[in-house]
Structure 1
Amino acid sequence: MRKFLYAFLLFGVFYFSIMMISCNAAEHFEYVITEDNRAVVTKYTGRDTVVNIPSELGGAPVCTIGAESFLGCERITAVMIPESVTSIEEYAFEYCTSLETIEIPEGVTLIGCGAFKHCAALKAVNLPTSLSQIEMSAFENCGSLERIELPDKIQEIEESVFSGCVSLKETVLPSKVYEIQSKAFRGCISLTDFSMEYEWVTISDYAFENCIALESFLAVGAPTQIGTGAFTGCTDLKRVKFGEAGESFCFSWGIFYGCTSLEHFTIPAGVFSVEDNLFAGCTNLRTVRIPGGTRQIGDPLFTGCENLEALYVDDNTYALTYARQHNLPYIIYNFQFGDVNRDGKVNGIDAGLLLQHLAEWDVNMDFDAADVNCDGSINGIDISLLLQYLADWEVKLGKI
């Protein structure tokens, strides 16, 4: 009988302890219950460094981390979000300056405006495949964030979403992204390479402003708009390549303003208009290829381009007239795939330049002409096709 009594008392103490832990955890959360019996966390009042948000509050499943609910909780280093949650609302974790890890479960579809803004210690975040929208400034000024991989349902990179992420080195984008909004990556000073594949895309104003370590930007697909100052202040930018543009496409004002490492640039086919100061302050710019379809060219275009050697233009085009009217050096050049050095011939010199490029030598070449299979990248397939062409094999360079 005594053993039974002890066992009963022990069970009671254990059960009561568990209940106390559960109640105390719940006591740290303020919440509301919606009409459809869902709990929305409205405020965290605890002082824990590791926070495990309960899956139920008040008998209702927790479905939303509410606006500003963890705002300024500077002690928190890690947060576990339950699988019942579908949305993280605006500024939910803003100024959680010690937050290093956040577990976002499958089922979350929305990360709201500024949700993790100023989370300076956040190093990594795994985004679920269910996520379809990341609102503006969601990760702005997350100074320790090094890598981001966006799930396939994301179609827009909203305004300032990664602005000021000074440690960001790698981005992985889905192929369905159709817009990079204003200042999306502004001030990402550790980003060195950026590549994306898309059907069509708009890159808005100052999207990559002051990405001072960015050396290469490769975009496979048809751009519909490149906004004002999109690459302003990208002082290390050396290589930029866009796919063929759509009709009536315009290069906006000052896209490459102050890109002091840019030496060669090919304006993609389809660009109808080029606005003022496109290359202003590009002090090392040497050559620019302007396609025959370009009908409007801003003035001034090359302010401060003291090392400009030549514009490559087609005969009987507006670009040729522009060069003559402004006393700019030019070379009349009829584009052909494989003519890597733009001398009007496809020969072993072109193959040699392409091999040097693949060996990571710094060479002056026409990247569009070097992409002989038109897949948006320059690699061993291109040199193989070029060598076959020079050996009189039955191969075709360019679009088939």
Structure 2
Amino acid sequence: MKIRRLCIALLLVAAVADNAIAVTAPKAVNIGSDGERQKPVVLVEDGVAVGCRDKSVTSVEIPAGVTKIGNGAFYGCKALASVVIPESVTEIDWYAFYGCKALASVVIPAGVTEIGESAFLECWALTSVEFGGTVAQWEAVKGKDNLFNVYVHATSVKCADGVWQKPVVLVEGGVAVKCLDKSAASVEIPAGVTKIGNGAFYGCKALASVVIPAGVTEIGENAFDGCTSLASVVIPAGVTEIGLEAFKGCTSLVSVVIPESVTEIGENAFASCTSLVSVVIPESVTKIGYRAFSDCKALASVEFGGTVAQWEAVKGKDNLFNGYVPATSVKCADGVWQKPVVLVEDGVAVGCLDKSAASVEIPAGVTKIGNGAFYGCKALSSVAFGGTKSAWDAVKGKDSLFNVYVHATSVKCADGVWQKPVVLVEGGVAVKCLDKSAASVEIPAGVTEIDGTFDGCTSLASVVIPDSVTRIGGWTFKDCTALASVVIPDSVTKIGWEAFKNCKALASVAFGGTVAQWKAVEKEPSWHKGVPAKSVKCADGEARL
């Protein structure tokens, strides 16, 4: 039937041609031996090969005109042994041939300029790679390293004018992007490289020595992460920043030379370098990232090229003294800086450097206690503050001193003792309930917002909310499973997300204003999820929750 229709169509074309009428020829179709129209194996959309209809196919010829082999186009075609890529293709996208385990050879046309990440991942049999262009053209192809990973055994590319050999270190645009030989014990990064890319030597466990050329100005994130055999490294002058986790987990690293050009040491840069015994930090460094030397259990000697005053100005210096670092001082050019119990930076108590301390004294100039500054200080039972009680009241973040790990109940100030309240208030906001076992609470007058304050206070059975409160924030009473009743004052104009979620005993809800006022209150979704009460009692009647 379909053949007949095709013949009719051709006769119509011939007929209109006789009448000198221009027509468009019908698109070619694949006709099987049974006369049925065949769907193409390769699905093409807008010039992109987006998929393979038959995962069991053994050979494929991608149609001419295709410009891109799309993301995962042949993913999982385990039997695919040969593929013909047309000259029109310019890009092979991510995971294009991922899992094509039978693919033994591939010819990449000269027009290809980019190969996406993991494009040939798990192509176990791929040992022969050819490229239609010159060696110089192949050098310019972006992402060519994606042909050479732990799952691909090819070691070279046959080009039109010679053979390109897989290098130990692949360089693209002045960036050392990847070490292609994970078993290499020593590596000399080529001259001309200006950056060691993110993760370039990640997991090169056999790498014991590396020569970094003088032109390098940047060491990227995770550049040498997990190089467990690397014993020493000289960072060249010109490098300004040591990236996040750059040398993390280099467990054999005993010494490191940081040049005067470095201004910042990134987060976790030398974390878990368990053999690192000493470090010299140049005076050019102004910032040390979070946990930069955490778990450096052998690090007993720290030197700084500048003065004690300059060291005091270094941001994040507490990150040298946490996570099992035994060093207790820093030798500076004009003296020794001793590690304090409480480290203060720009008026902020950023950390307690002695987690075993039973008592601490916070200087009078402190205006804020940093998030988690006293986390894990389980022995801390005595806290003193150099300023007055009113000055202590104005300190932000003091709730960080009163959590499940800190047993202090008061702060000794210059003019008396500040007692830990049940509800901690800062700037008119009730920020935290400091007694999770409290059965009843009266929120102080003057509080305008309650924000997540009583989340998880499972013993809380009753609460008094003052008329000054205008907002009950998200999760404020979440999981207060003993809370049986609540009176919301008519001053409240907004109730946040899941504010009373899972208050399973909350059978009575009252509102100080009218039904109309209640309806005007902005209520975010699920604010009363899991609450048994179905209505709210207002001054002039009842309304639905």
The answer to which structure has the higher strand fraction is 2
Bigger Rg, which one: 2
Q: Which structure would you say has the larger RCO, counting Cα contacts within 8 Å and 6 or more residues apart?
A: 1
TM-score (norm 2): 0.38
Instruction: Name the structure with the higher helix share.
Output: 1
TM, length-normalised to structure 1? 0.50
